[in-house]
Amino acid sequence: MNTTSSTTGAQATGPLLVISAHAGDFVWRAGGAIALTAAAGQRAKVVCLSYGERGESARAWREGKNLEEIKAVRRAEAEQAAAALGAEIEFLDAGDYPLLETQELTDRLVHVYREFEPAVVLTHTLADPYNGDHPAAARMAIQARILAQAIGYEAPGEPLGAPPVFHFEPHQPEQCDFRPDTLLDITSVFDRKRKAMECLPAQQHMWDYYTDLAKRRGVQLKRNAGPNLGLPHTCMAEAFVRLYPQTTGVLA
């Protein structure tokens, strides 16, 4: 067994589903995980519940654009970012600020789970005192996964298995009770993540923030991977929190 393989970013376990409240969230928080999956030849799909048109498009509002124009801009940017990462993207246009939890929207996510059959799911944290839409998206993502597993739930396709769910890193991790238990090596695809970030020009201040964060998480990854694994001098990483226990036949 190649002991470095789990930390070099060369592998992905299968279809990756990312459930994002707003059009930009998946880029900052999970762009590396998405690009790694695509680079490994696996499907990655982003579902944007809204465009972030009201709450995360301040510059466009100040420029005097109207709601429909802003939605179109955010959609185009997110499509470009997804393409840069190698992901498919679907917009549910459910509205933001507030993003309302509804049975209809949850049911649409159940259909996505049944059709896409993800091996891994990424979504927001369940706590975010800065943004009610993020926990709402996470709750619906988790509830839809539960429903998609139920054989009696009416939706096309087979009942879902048990894809692990990871929360991706929020913008204010400490306030969101975000204590990483998983560090993903994204060194090999960081240039793609940076390119995707640069598809979002209205949030240019975030480009360097998330580049610096990836470096910091990369330092932590190296510390936890041990000194002898031959990791690159500058390692880039994304942090996640696993929702359900890892299942394993061996402690490693």
- CB 169 → Zn ion: shortest distance, Å? 12
- CB 250 → Zn ion: shortest distance, Å? 38
Could you say whether residue 45 binds Zn ion (CB under 5 A)? no
Cα 119–Cα 232–Cα 81 angle in degrees, nearest 5: 50
Q: Which two tokens stand for residue 250?
A: 């061996």
Could you say whether residue 171 binds Zn ion (CB under 5 A)? no
- Residues of span 5-34 touching Zn ion by CB under 5 A: 21-22, 25
Sheet strands (E) in 88-227:
88-91, 120-123, 165-168, 182-185
Place of tokens 């891994």: 120
- CB 20 → Zn ion: shortest distance, Å? 7
Taking the least distance from each CB to Zn ion, the nearer of 78 and 148 is 78
Report d(CA 120, CA 239) in Å as an integer: 15
Taking the least distance from each CB to Zn ion, the nearer of 147 and 168 is 168
Whether cis (ω within 30° of 0) applies to the bond prior to 15 is: no
Question: What are residue 74's phi and psi, to 5 degrees?
Answer: -65, -35
Crossing angle for the helix pair 25-39 and 67-85, to the nearest 10 degrees: 30
Q: Would you call 176 helix, strand, or coil by DSSP?
A: coil
- CB 124 → Zn ion: shortest distance, Å? 8
How many residues bind Zn ion (CB under 5 A)? The answer is: 3
Taking the least distance from each CB to Zn ion, the nearer of 33 and 155 is 33
Taking the least distance from each CB to Zn ion, the nearer of 135 and 163 is 135
Q: Provide the 10 A C-beta neighbour count for residue 198.
A: 14
Taking the least distance from each CB to Zn ion, the nearer of 25 and 238 is 25
- Find the helix or strand (DSSP H, E) in which 140 lies: helix 133-149
Could you say whether residue 54 binds Zn ion (CB under 5 A)? no
Could you say whether residue 128 binds Zn ion (CB under 5 A)? no
Could you say whether residue 74 binds Zn ion (CB under 5 A)? no
- CB 232 → Zn ion: shortest distance, Å? 31
For residue 165, give every residue at least 6 positions away whose Cβ sits within 8 Å of its Cβ, in sequence order, or none: 121, 122, 123, 141, 142, 145, 242, 243, 244
226: left (phi > 0), else alpha (psi -120 to 50), else beta?
A: left
- CB 26 → Zn ion: shortest distance, Å? 9
Place of tokens 């490994």: 40
For residue 132, give every residue at least 6 positions away whose Cβ sits within 8 Å of its Cβ, in sequence order, or none: 98, 99
- CB 56 → Zn ion: shortest distance, Å? 5
Taking the least distance from each CB to Zn ion, the nearer of 94 and 147 is 94
The residue at minimum Cβ distance from Zn ion is 22
Could you say whether residue 238 binds Zn ion (CB under 5 A)? no
- Residues of span 136-155 touching Zn ion by CB under 5 A: none
Taking the least distance from each CB to Zn ion, the nearer of 21 and 214 is 21
- Residues of span 77-106 touching Zn ion by CB under 5 A: none
Q: Contact residues for Zn ion (CB under 5 A)? A: 21-22, 25
